[in-house]
Amino acid sequence: MDYDIKKGNYGNLEGDGLMKMMEAAFGSAKKEGDVLVSSYGAMTRIEVRLISKTSMDISATSDKNASPDLAADTIKKWNEFLEQATGFTSKERRNRLQKKAKEGKL
């Protein structure tokens, strides 16, 4: 899924900035081509790729059998990472996605 990057936040992601963010949030990360890969809690695979200064592609695969406590912790950590990486809160990300959906841009 494509996520918008807040204006001015790309500087935090340049170079190895995004890799360091993923390592801080999820404990480890590795590079596979132009994709950064990690895992955490109920997410068995997290893939992040910068598309441009204003957009990144993020996908995650979840373990459907994870305990509710593990899933809740994972969601919290996921939202913290997304806020740091995109510069937008979960509410702002939701509003932007809803606007794109209404405009037929998804």
Q: What is the pTM of this model?
A: 0.89
Question: What type of residue is 95?
Answer: N
Domain of residue 81 covers: 2-102
Q: Tell me, what's the pLDDT at 70? A: 95
- Domain at 10, CATH number: 3.30.310.190
Per the structure, how many domains does the chain have? 1
Q: Tell me, what's the pLDDT at 106? A: 72
Residue 97 CB coordination number (10 Å): 16
Q: Tell me, what's the pLDDT at 22? A: 96
Q: Tell me, what's the pLDDT at 29? A: 96
Structure tokens at 31: 């590079």
First to last CA, the chain: 9
Q: Tell me, what's the pLDDT at 90? A: 92
Positions in the chain whose pLDDT score sits under 70: none
Q: Tell me, what's the pLDDT at 43? A: 96
Q: Tell me, what's the pLDDT at 105? A: 79
